[in-house]
Amino acid sequence: MTIFLALFRGINVNGRVVKMDMLKELHASLGFTDVITYIQSGNVIFTSNETDSLTLTQRIEEGFQQKFGFRSSVIIRTVDELQQIIDNTPFHDQPEKEPKWIVVTFFSSPPREDAVEQFQKLYQGPEELYLKGRDLYTYYPESIGHSKLPAHQLSKILQADGTARNWNTILKLQKLMA
């Protein structure tokens, strides 16, 4: 059995309300075990005999659409992949950076390099951005609320499906997956 994290995009915003107990029921109905949800942004931890993330993503997205009547992209990471994300943060040696202002955008596949380069040329804000594989680390020095970085549009700009979580949430998810 492998431990997985499913990160849902765009739920409990813009009227797309999904109760976490119903999301938990969905995963159980798909045959997953040890299902745990964490906060209302759509974080689901589960175990499965299936090891292929793409297969899991398709099953969950199809089941979600059938149960809730709208589509939500799902990004899957294993416990080992989440640990790598934590280990690879470019902010390890910078304790002055508040964890609540560090965000990781999880993409289903790496954004195209040309899209990333174009974005970096056009955006000149104070945020620090580091792309590592399928994950984009962002530090918001002036807080997320005061940022002009179009975080909700990053997936579109970078031409890759993604969803973001702050560092505190990521660390809590890691503990729950242990």
- What is the full DSSP assignment across 58-77? HHHHHHHHHHHSS---EEEE
Whether 9 contacts 162, CB under 8 Å: yes
Q: Which residue has the tokens 């689901």?
A: 44
- pLDDT of res. 126: 92
The CA-atom distances, in angstroms, between 46 and each of 6, 8, 58, 67, 110 are 8, 14, 15, 18, 24
- pLDDT of res. 149: 82
The structural domains of the chain, ordered by start, are 2-81 (3.30.70.1280), 84-177 (3.30.70)
Extended strands (E) in 32-167? 33-38, 43-48, 74-78, 102-107, 128-132, 135-139, 162-166
- pLDDT of res. 107: 95
What is the rounded CA–CA span in Å between residue 160 and residue 76?
Answer: 14
Could you say which residues of the chain have pLDDT below 70? none
- pLDDT of res. 114: 86
Residues with Cβ within 8 Å of residue 95, at least 6 apart in sequence: none
- pLDDT of res. 144: 86
3-class state of residue 85 by DSSP: helix
- pLDDT of res. 108: 93
Q: What is the pTM of this model?
A: 0.92
Q: How many residues does the chain have?
A: 178
